[in-house]
Every structure is written in C-alpha cells, then in structure tokens.
Amino acid sequence: MATALVWDERLMWHDAGNQFGPRSPWIEPGPPPESVETKRRIKSLCDASGLTARLTVLAPRPATRAELERVHTALYVDRIETTSRAGGGNIASRAHTHIGGGGFEIACLAAGATITAVEAVMAGRVRNAYALLRPPGHHAEADAGQGFCVFNNGAVAAAHAIAALGLSRVAIVDLDAHHGNGAQSIFWRDPRVLTISVHQDRAFPLSVGDTTEQGEGPGHGFALNIPLPAGSSEAAYRATMDRVILPALDLFQPELIIVACGLDAGFMDPTARMLLSSDSFRLLTRALMGSADRLCDGRIVFTHEGGYHIQTVPFHALAVFETLSGIRTEVEDPFLAAARECAAPMLPHQDAAITRAEAALHAAPPTPRT
C-alpha cells in the first residue's frame, strides 16, 4: 500500500503575523520563523523529485467543533473563532500566537488533516501517512495557544482515534526540538494516550519537559520526557530511541502511533541547537516504523510541526517521506556532508540525560490499564 500525503493549498495561507519573540517596543516587526516557505518547499521538492506522483494525495476535511472540544475547551475554540472573524490577532494568553482573518477555518482544516490521515491508515486505505500542514499544533494546550500553535492537531487526532474509531491505546511521539507540552498537558491524567517527547532541554517552553513530569492520577507513568542537552547529535538520538522510546512503546503496546514530526532538531535550524541530518531523520523514522510494524500492524501517522531553516528542512522532510514510502528518489542532500562534519559521538552529559529518562521509565512504566 502507498504512503498518503495529506495536503491542501489553503493550509499554506495561515497568517502567522509579523511578531516573534517576547513582547517589546524595541523589537522591529518581521516575519516569524513559522512561515509558508519551509512547508511549500517540502511539497515542491517532493513534486520535483517525482515522489508526490507515487504517493496517495488526500484532501483533508475540517475538524468539527465537537472533534476540537474533545481536547480543547469551548471557551478557547470560541476565542479562536471570534478573533478570526474580527480580522485576526493574538490568540495566546502567555505569548504571541497570531492568526489572521479566516484563521479559524484554516486551523480547523489543519486539525482535520491529521484526522484524515488517521482515518485513512486505520481503514487500511494506505500503509502510513504524513499530514503536511500549518499552523502546527504541539504547543497548544486545552485552553491556550502557544508558540506558533493554534489547535493541537496530533492530540485532536489521538482523541478521535479513541472516541470515534474505538482504539484503547494511542502513543504520541514528539521529535520536535521543543517540548511537546500540549499533548502532555491534555492527556496528563489519561492512561489511554502515552506522550513521549525528546527535545532540547529548556529550549521552549522554558518551564516544562523534565523527566520528573510523568502524568498524574490514572495517567501517572504515561508522560515520558527525554530532555537532551543542546548540541546533541544523531548518536544521542539513536541511544534515546533504543534505550527509552522503543522500550516505552513496547511496554504500552499502542494500537496507533502518531509522530509529531518537528524537523527543527536539524543542524542548521535557527530556533534550536541540535545537530541532526537528513540521514538522522531517516534513522528515526525507520525505528518508529519498525515499532509500529511490531506493535500495531504498521499503523503510524506523521503530523508536521516545526523546522525553520528554509534550505535544509525540505531535505530532512524528503528523507522522512522516502522512508515512509520505501521509495528512494534521485535527490541527494547537498547539506549532508556539512551535517556529518558537525556530528559528534555521544558525550557523557548526554548519556547521563538519557540514563535519567531510562530511570523515569522504569520507575513508572506505561503498562496498559484494563
């Protein structure tokens, strides 16, 4: 079966505004890193390489209000809709997250894109799927947007898989260089969803993402964090996958894996300080696909999150698409040699961070509840 690409040109029309960073009268307005450029370049490279023609391209449908309110409060959904209809503005309470006029409909379509991907995979119409979308979602909490995120696309899809498709266990694996705080907070007390986040320690948000955060009540043990030191390269990520992420998935036995696919751990990203290459993303994708093959008949869905270097990100994404589809194009990553020059063996302080995450996993293993 083919790999699905969930795509709609309207998703590229999200207006992220012209303010980025802390609120200050001394910051000159300018386009934020979350822009249409990187996402459209991903699609363009897939097109130019001939890969898109060999994928199953699916058109998303918008998420309904009921689907959004499985993970977001009604007041928050109202705030997005009201702001959008007033012409746009800031929808975050603790930072600045902009939507423009019509932004509510685009954000609903982004959440619906991940639902569309999950439904296609669960129905067996495709082997796996990638929802290439904006705005991203993994920082959005139940009642607040944050970062560049409006609705939590991955969380909406996970809740849909449980409520509408009858699943009992869904895992969300967040590869973004910034902490997956949104899904963690949404499912903080829910043992049906295992949230795993490997990220640069204290990159964003600054106050969350530690190994001690493991969920609460019936959800204790079902939140897992691997905060890696800045400067971690493929060796540290490989060890994290082998020693923490894959064992956690084996314990949890998910029926579906959703990957919050941030590409900002790439070695040239302006928002993080990690050192991954396109081959690194190929390796991580292959590992997660192997876990899905073992545990849930290969059911795995990728939803696009961060990744902001306009030249390197398309090659990182193409590596993911090639791995998902099993199709190797003729494209050669012109940045791969430079990324390999930046790569380094795992250092002792990185190993210590992974060991702490291992200890947290074994202290509170995510064993399915009956």
pLDDT value at residue 25: 87
CA–CA gap between residue 244 and residue 251 (Å, rounded): 11
Residue 231 structure tokens: 């400067």
Of 198, 199, 183, 194, the closest CA to residue 151 belongs to 183
Confidence of residue 15 (pLDDT cuts 50, 70, 90): very high
CA–CA gap between residue 126 and residue 234 (Å, rounded): 30
pLDDT value at residue 370: 63
Catalytic residue among 72, 98, 139, 316: 139
pLDDT value at residue 13: 97
DSSP 194: E
Q: Amino acid letter at 125?
A: R
CA angle 172, 173, 178 (to 5 degrees): 115
Chain-wide mean pLDDT for the chain?
96
DSSP string, 219-273: GTTSEEEEEEPTT--HHHHHHHIIIIIHHHHHHH--SEEEEEE--TTBTT-TT--
pLDDT at 278 over 80: yes
pTM metric for this prediction: 0.98
- What is the topology classification, in CATH, of domain 3-20+31-363? Arginase; Chain A (3.40.800)
Contact 281, 319 (CB under 8 A): yes
10 Å Cβ neighbour count for 22?
A: 9
pLDDT at 21 over 80: no
Residue 185 structure tokens: 């907070």
pLDDT at 105 over 80: yes
pLDDT tens, residue by residue, 165-206: 999 999 999 999 999 999 999 999 999 999 999 999 999 999
Residue 337 structure tokens: 């040699």
CB-based contacts of 190, cutoff 8 Å, min separation 6: 218, 219, 222
CA–CA gap between residue 36 and residue 55 (Å, rounded): 22
pLDDT tens, residue by residue, 111-159: 999 999 999 999 999 999 999 999 999 999 999 999 999 999 999 999 9
Contact 63, 153 (CB under 8 A): no
pLDDT value at residue 148: 95
pLDDT value at residue 23: 76
pLDDT value at residue 72: 98
DSSP 54: G
CA–CA gap between residue 89 and residue 100 (Å, rounded): 6
CA–CA gap between residue 316 and residue 134 (Å, rounded): 17
Q: Which of 45-49, 72-76, 342-346 has the lowest mean pLDDT?
A: 342-346
pLDDT tens, residue by residue, 279-322: 999 999 999 999 999 999 999 999 999 999 999 999 999 999 99
CB-based contacts of 294, cutoff 8 Å, min separation 6: 250
CA–CA gap between residue 80 and residue 151 (Å, rounded): 9
Of 254, 43, 65, the closest CA to residue 156 belongs to 65
Does the annotation mark 138 as catalytic? no
Top-confidence residue, 262 or 27: 262
CA–CA gap between residue 266 and residue 272 (Å, rounded): 8
Contact 196, 172 (CB under 8 A): yes
pLDDT value at residue 1: 80
CA–CA gap between residue 362 and residue 370 (Å, rounded): 20
pLDDT value at residue 167: 98
